[in-house]
A and B are shown apart, each in its own frame.
Chain A
Amino acid sequence: MQEVLRLMNKLIFGRYIPGDSLIHRLDPRAKLLASFYFIGIIFLANNWQSYLFLAAFTMVAVLASKINLSFFLKGIRPLIWLIIFTVALQMLFTRGGTLYWSWGVFSLSSYGIQNGLFIFCRFVLIIFMSTLLTLTTPPLSMSDAIESLLNPLKRFHFPVHEIALMLSIALRFVPTLMDETEKIMNAQRARGVDFNDGSLVQKVKAIVPLLIPLFVSSFNRAEDLATAMEARGYRGGEGRSKYRKLQWMNRDTIVLLIFVIVTIVLFFLRS
């Protein structure tokens, strides 16, 4: 357990949380499609009923993942200022309906308040859904899913295999590089570098002893990895078989159908 925790500590990329819920077992392609689709249909909602319906739907999905709600709330935290800023902008600059207060170009009207709250809902729902996607899907499955979904583009000479390979290698090295960054940072701090103190110029200068070793070690790592891959017979994407096969099950089709139903209901609810 400690080992798992230590690993998870370092995975900032979406922080996958292992589990065995219905959502965890879904095909990553279905989840990826559904999440993008959800972001699309969220713009269909334009009144209270439709937003409530979408919120309820999102909550059911979140509960089905059996993941603590606090993780989702944490997903919002880094974006909170962006949300507040956008909502405030909408509220202060939209006119229409009953006017409660105005001062110069600023005004507070019933339309503005409504618009602001709708945008708030949109933000929160989108963040919840995308957090749900990353929390329940291991990064590697995600890159498998992207490769599989991009496959049709091969016809147009789009380098699908190369992109997928780069993506999975990049994902694999995120925690390693995080580790490395922390190590070098500590080593330089021990040599008297202050990463948090001083003026902006000093702070930027303090990054040099961190960035250069990181770049150098990435180059070395890339060279070693390329050599190791060639030594193991890697010759590019042609004619390779796959170890991790994605399997599309009935439940994945059902999930996509549910999204279609949600869309239809939304069309009835919107005004």
Chain B
Amino acid sequence: MDIRFEKVNYVYQPNTPFEQRALYDIDLDIKQGSYTALVGHTGSGKSTLLQHLNALLKPTEGQVIIGDRKITPTTDNKNLKPVRKKVGIVFQFPEAQLFEETVAKDIAFGPKNFGVKEEAALILAKENLQMVGLDESYLERSPFELSGGQMRRVAIAGVLAMEPEVLVLDEPTAGLDPMGRKEMMEMFLRLHREKKITIVLVTHLMDDVTNFADYVYVLEKGQVVKHGTPQNVFDDVEWLKEKQLGVPQASAFAEKMQSRGAKFTELPLTENELADWIVKHAGGPATNE
């Protein structure tokens, strides 16, 4: 399922003294099966944009095309459930959305809202809990007695259980320890590869972008200022610094090497690329080809 933005504008509280524009003429294309990253500063409009992806917000101008549904400023708020089922959003700090007595019930809550029968929903709960790395013993526990990281997993399982075609992740690893982060990001990559889920990742971590994404949109002050493959967007380190976006660690390191005389045809974006280059130039065989 593709998601397409056509000249989307969004204004908060229009026609009041508190009017505030958040998005300006956004054109965006999220292809089926892609892994798209959205980067930008706090306040650049990322969160506003991502709420358009499943029609939590409707554009003030322009249109958002989600699969076969067209969301325009005049779209009725009713019958948006099918859209929301297809596009699952994991919000920032999703552990705040847990409320049921048991983990199982909480995970089953989403599917049940979309018409899945009780028993089937509980089976989904079990499957998805395993998917996020927790075993069955957690099913009957209260979500409020879990640790922060475990709560996060349960919340994510709750979104996955809706079996969305598109998964939107708003800084899914914020506040997790390095191990948890790695596991989580690898799980999303696995879902993307094995289940062909389209992923939209909002992040501040450029390393995650270069490691996982195949397309990047850079937002600034409510506008898309640059988009393309990570190679295209990250080839200009100066530009990234100027925009105060991070530079991937591998690129930053390679740049330092360059200033000491190393010659790169293209700055490496990931640790693997950098390692390959070093191995090649030290005379050994490339490992990750």
**Which residue of the partner chain B has the closest CB to A212?**
B99
Query: Which of A29-37, A189-197, A263-271 participates in binding chain B?
Result: A189-197
| A68 interface residue (CB < 8 Å to B) | yes
Q: Does residue A231 face the partner (Cβ distance < 8 Å to B)?
A: no
Contact with A along B76-115 (1 / 0, CB 8 A): 0110010011001101101011110000000001100110
Q: How far is the CA of A27 from the CA of B178 in the complex (A)?
A: 52
CB <8 Å contact, B158 and A191: yes
- Of the stretches B11-19, B211-219, B275-283, the one at the interface is B11-19
A5: interface (CB < 8 Å): yes
B54, B84, B158 pick with most chain A CB within 10 angstroms? B84
B96 touches A191 (CB 8 A): no
Q: Which residue of A lies closest to B101 (CB)?
A: A212
- Which of A113-121, A146-154, A179-187 is found at the contact surface with chain B? A179-187
Q: Are B91 and A186 in contact (CB under 8 A)?
A: yes
Q: Which of A8, A68, A194, A213 contacts B99 (CB 8 A)?
A: A213
Which positions 205-219 of chain A face chain B at CB distance < 8 Å?
Answer: 208-209, 212-213, 216-217
Tell me whether A192 and B91 are in contact in the complex, defined as CB-CB below 8 angstroms, given that A9-B12, A70-B17, A213-B96 are known contacts. no
Q: A191-B109, A191-B113 are in contact. Are A186 and B56 (CB under 8 A)?
A: yes
**Of A9, A68, A208, A213, which one neighbours B98 at CB under 8 angstroms?**
A213
Residue of B nearest to A196 (CB): B77
- For B97, what are the chain A residues with a Cβ–Cβ distance below 8 Å? 184, 187-188, 191, 209, 213
Known: A186-B56, A213-B98, A217-B96. A192 touches B18 (CB 8 A): no
Q: A6-B20, A71-B17, A186-B51 are in contact. Are A192 and B96 (CB under 8 A)?
A: no
Q: Let me know if B162 is at the binding interface, CB within 8 A.
A: yes
Is B18's CB under 8 angstroms from A8's CB? yes
Q: Are A189 and B18 in contact (CB-based, < 8 A)?
A: no
| Contacting pair A5 B56 (CB below 8 A) | no
The reply to whether B54 and A190 form a contact with Cβ atoms under 8 Å apart is: yes
Q: Which of B26-60 contact A (CB under 8 A)?
A: 43, 51, 54, 56
Interface size on B, residues (CB 8 A): 31
In the complex, B159 has a CB within 8 A of chain A: yes
> Which of A186, A193, A196 has the most chain B CB atoms closer than 10 A to its own CB?
A186
**B85 (CB) vs chain A CBs: closest residue:** A192
CA distance A9 to B81 in the complex (A): 28
Q: With a CB–CB cut-off of 8 A, which chain A residues contact B77? A: 196
The secondary structure that dominates the A interface is helix
Docked complex: A145-188 residues within 8 A CB-CB of B? 180, 183-184, 186-188
Judged by a CB distance under 8 angstroms, whether A2 is at the interface is yes
Tell me how far the C-beta of B20 lies from the nearest C-beta in chain A, rounded to whole angstroms: 5
Measured in the bound complex, the distance between the Cα atoms of B18 and A5 in whole Å is: 6
Could you tell me the distance between the alpha carbons of A209 and B99 in the complex, rounded to whole angstroms? Answer: 6
Provide the bound-state CA to CA distance between A192 and B80, in Å.
Answer: 9
Q: For residue A213, which residues in chain B have a CB less than 8 angstroms away from its CB?
A: 96-99
Q: Is B144 an interface residue (CB 8 A)?
A: yes
Chain A residue nearest to B161 in the complex (CB) = A191
* Neighbouring B residues of A189 by C-beta, 8 Å: 56, 84
Q: Is A191 within 8 A of B159, CB to CB? A: yes
- Bound-complex Cα distance A71 to B17 (A): 9
C-alpha spacing A180/B92, complex, angstroms: 11
CA distance A42 to B190 in the complex (A): 71
Contacts of A216 in B (CB 8 A): 99, 144
Q: Which of A5, A187, A190, A217 contacts B20 (CB 8 A)?
A: A5
User: Nearest-CB distance from B103 to chain A (Å)?
Assistant: 14
A232 smallest CB distance to B (angstroms): 23
Q: Whose C-beta in chain A lies nearest to the C-beta of B94?
A: A187
Contact B18 A9 (CB under 8 A): yes
Enumerate chain A residues within 8 angstroms of B88, measured Cβ to Cβ. 190
Residue of B nearest to A194 (CB): B81
Question: Beyond A2-B20, A9-B18, is A192–B110 a contact (Cβ under 8 Å)?
Answer: yes
Q: How distant is the Cα of A192 from the Cα of B113 in the complex, in angstroms?
A: 5
Contact between B144 and A191, CB atoms less than 8 A apart: no
Residue of B at shortest CB range from A185? B56
Complex interface bits, A62-92 against B, C-beta within 8 A gives 1, otherwise 0: 0000001011000000000000000000000
Further 9 A-B residue pairs, CB within 8 A, beyond A5-B20, A196-B77, A213-B99:
A2-B20, A183-B96, A184-B96, A189-B84, A191-B110, A191-B158, A209-B97, A209-B99, A213-B96
14 contacts between A and B (CB under 8 A): A8-B18, A180-B96, A187-B97, A189-B56, A189-B84, A191-B97, A191-B158, A192-B85, A193-B113, A197-B78, A209-B97, A213-B99, A216-B144, A217-B96
Question: Nearest 10 pairs between A and B by C-beta?
Answer: A192-B113, A212-B99, A187-B97, A191-B110, A190-B89, A187-B91, A209-B99, A192-B114, A213-B99, A9-B18
